[in-house]
Amino acid sequence: MVKRVIYIHGFNSSEKSYKAVRFGELMAHYDVDYCVPRLNHEPLQAIIALEQLLTSNTVLLGSSLGGFYATYLSQRYHLPAVVINPAVAPYNLLTSLLGENYNPYQDYKYQLNQHHMDALSTLTIPTLHTPELLYLLQQTGDEVLNFQHAVKYYSQCKQLIEFGGDHSFIGFERTFASIVDFLNIK
């Protein structure tokens, strides 16, 4: 059976993000169904769209808010996932962005409201029940998220922590072999 690899982009991003495109180039050399859905800013709509793509042979990659979503899906559906500089508590982080927002990658304006924060809060997994399904890729120079939150939250998971870098995860391509190995992509 062909494995489905889903890349989950971050907040105000799209299927054209650098990491999604670069990993897609790698996946073209494997017998997999690689997909990067364009996600809505509404958290529950994003999760429903992702759930509709899941198969029994799905693995996940998620960056930033996409890492938060990948964690939720991993733990709910028992799927392997790699999370890259993931948001641990996006409902706290994104409150500073309440109001009108613009997604330049999808070219649309929208209102970010408290009900979005509440929805994100309901998707939180307080304790990872199957941490062995998760692999954390974290750079300490992340200027958007406090890297220590992720290191602590994913402490029971496989981790690759690099000093320096930034939120984009500089040198992402260097991690490809370990991602393919962890997700058992053939």
Q: How far apart are CA 131 and CA 35, in angstroms?
A: 24
Please, what are the domains in the chain? 3-182 (3.40.50.1820)
Condensed to tens digits (0 to 9), the pLDDT of residues 22-43 reads 999 999 999 999 999 999 999 9
Q: Rounded to two decimals, what is the model's pTM? A: 0.95
Q: How far apart are CA 153 and CA 81, in angstroms?
A: 15
Q: Which two three-digit tokens encode residue 150?
A: 């992720």
Q: Mean pLDDT of residues grouped by 10 in the chain (186 residues)?
A: 89 92 97 95 96 96 98 98 97 90 87 94 96 98 95 98 96 97 95
